[in-house]
Amino acid sequence: MTQNSHNSVFVRKVDAETLPPPQNEMGIRGWLWRNLLYSVTDYSSVSAALRSLAMIFFTVLVSYVGLTQLWLLLDFVFFSAVWSDPTGIKREACWTLSQGGTLPDDWHAACWPFIFAKLKFLAYGPYPMDELWRVNVTGLLGLAGLCWVLIEALPYRRLVGVLMLTAYPVIALILLTGGASEANYFNATAYIFVGLALITVGRLGQRDLLGIVASDFASIIGFVGWSLIVFQVLMLIFSVDVGLKPVGTGDWGGLMITLVVAVTGIVVSLPLGVILALGRRSNMPVARLLCTIFIEFWRGVPLISVLFMASVMIPLFLPEGVNFDKLMRALIGVMLFSAAYMAEVVRGGLQAIDKGQYEAAEAMGLTYWQSMRQIILPQALTHVIPGIVNTFIGLFKDTTLVSIIGLFDLLGAGKSAIADASWSSPVQAISIYLFVGFIFFIFCFGMSRYSIFMENKLSKSRSH
């Protein structure tokens, strides 16, 4: 039967030649048709004609408003703007005739020589002029490392990543502050021995030599021991006098502070957030309770009040003379705050993972940490990349709040620059805000684009 039908039915052996798409679907014509004309050329009925006319009206209106605004912006920023102040007359370079300057009375555009004059202040704040190379080296090193880690074609990315997270902060801190802090060698040695003792206890506990209770806490005790030793060794490293002039954090400012706060917050908040999220979904009641309290507390208070507490209240509680660095206080506040937000984002990812994945991991005999590392977290984090980057971008922009506690971040430095009467003009404030806004846009847009790239790469399997 089947053989017969084979013989009687025509079976095509060669593919038909592929026809080109219709002319009006291709090229500029196609583009115009799809995006512009498609919705405005249907007059077949009264309602369709009305719709088409309404579309024409709104298209023209929106284009007109959009193009006018764009023109005004370009004119303000580029065409009419004052670009140079060759004679060094400062504010008078941006004054109109009625103010005593030379520009026409209806002139209203950006005053860029003001920004150029303040560029050093906006980038570094009051950091000493002769020591700027230290900031530059730190920044370039960070940029190089970051690029290395982000560009996939390069070798040793894992090694560079680990170095960026361990050696780089140490180098950066020494370069920026000058190192040579005072260290107590006796205490440091004592602490290192305590650390070694704790590690030994931890090891013994892991081999079940200390009874059930101790073996439960063994890894924690070992961890504390390791942290103690690493901490003391770092303190000793920081105390080495490398011959750099000390520059206190009071002399930091501008984009430099913005980046220090944002990068620290971003780097710390992700791992801390993951730990908090795991803790909140843990079966251990104490860990769950602590993590929940932590997250809810930090999510419940506004960042501005956290910073305010850190800068105004903490000095009142501390004994007189004990003075916690202002930048450090703000950094800790920002870290804890963003970690709490990150924890909830990560928790969203964890909850999106099917229960079967958890069970499968257990069935394979993986330990909790193994299953988290190998099975759950890679999937969960991929799910929530947009949320994570959202938090990063939010954090980056929130760094401007440190200016209310007297740290001159990029925006704070800008505001301080506005107060300089030798440049005062009606466009002084707008020029600075435009520039600062542009810098923030570059960073935030960059993060956003990279996140989209990561999403596309990691979720190829799910893309539609």
Partner 1 sequence: MKNITIAIVAIVAAAVGYFGGTSMNKEAPAPAATETETAAVEATLNAVKAKGFVQCGVSQGLPGFSNADDAGNWTGIDVDVCRGVAAAVFGDASKVKYTPLSSKQRFTALASGEIDMLSRNTTWTMTRDTQLGLNFAGVNYYDGQGFLVPTKLGVKSALEMDGANVCSQTGTTTELNVTDFFRENGMKFNLVAFEEADAVVAAYDSGRCDVYTTDRSGLAAQRTKLANPDAHMVLPEIISKEPLGPVVRQGDDQWFNIVRWTLNAMINAEEMGVTSANAKSMANDNNPAIKRLLGTEGTFGAELGLSNDWALNIISQVGNYGESYEAHVGPNTPLKLDRGVNALWSQGGILYAAPVR
- Minimum Å gap between C-beta 127 and partner 1 is 7
Q: Quick one: CA torsion of 294, 297, 299, 305, rounded to 10 degrees? A: -130
Cα 358 to Cα 342, 347, 365: the distances in Å are 22, 14, 11
- Minimum Å gap between C-beta 119 and partner 1 is 9
Nearer to partner 1, 48 or 170 (CB): 170
Cα 224 to Cα 221, 231, 328, 382: the distances in Å are 5, 10, 22, 31
> Which residue has 């050093």 as its token pair?
120
Nearer to partner 1, 56 or 312 (CB): 312
For residue 184, give both structure tokens.
């107590």
Nearer to partner 1, 30 or 142 (CB): 142
Nearer to partner 1, 268 or 345 (CB): 268
Nearer to partner 1, 37 or 188 (CB): 188
Helices 326-352, 385-398: inter-axial angle, 10-degree rounding: 160
Dist CA 423 CA 102 (whole Å): 15
- Minimum Å gap between C-beta 429 and partner 1 is 4
Nearer to partner 1, 75 or 251 (CB): 251
Strand partners, 111: 82
Q: Quick one: CA torsion of 73, 79, 82, 87, rounded to 10 degrees? A: 170
Q: What would you measure as the largest C-alpha separation in the chain, in angstroms?
A: 103
Q: How many residues does the chain have?
A: 464
Cα 280 to Cα 236, 293, 296, 365, 381: the distances in Å are 36, 9, 11, 23, 16
**3-state helix vs strand vs coil in the chain, percent to 5:** 75, 0, 25
Nearer to partner 1, 43 or 368 (CB): 368
Strand partners, 82: 111
- Minimum Å gap between C-beta 13 and partner 1 is 56
- Minimum Å gap between C-beta 293 and partner 1 is 20
Nearer to partner 1, 76 or 231 (CB): 231
Residue 371, Cα to own-chain centre: how many angstroms?
28
Nearer to partner 1, 21 or 86 (CB): 86
Three-state DSSP at 14 gives: coil
Dist CA 361 CA 357 (whole Å): 6
Helices (H) and strands (E) in the chain, counts: 19, 0
Residue-by-residue DSSP string for 27-48: HHHHHHIIIIITTT---SSHHH
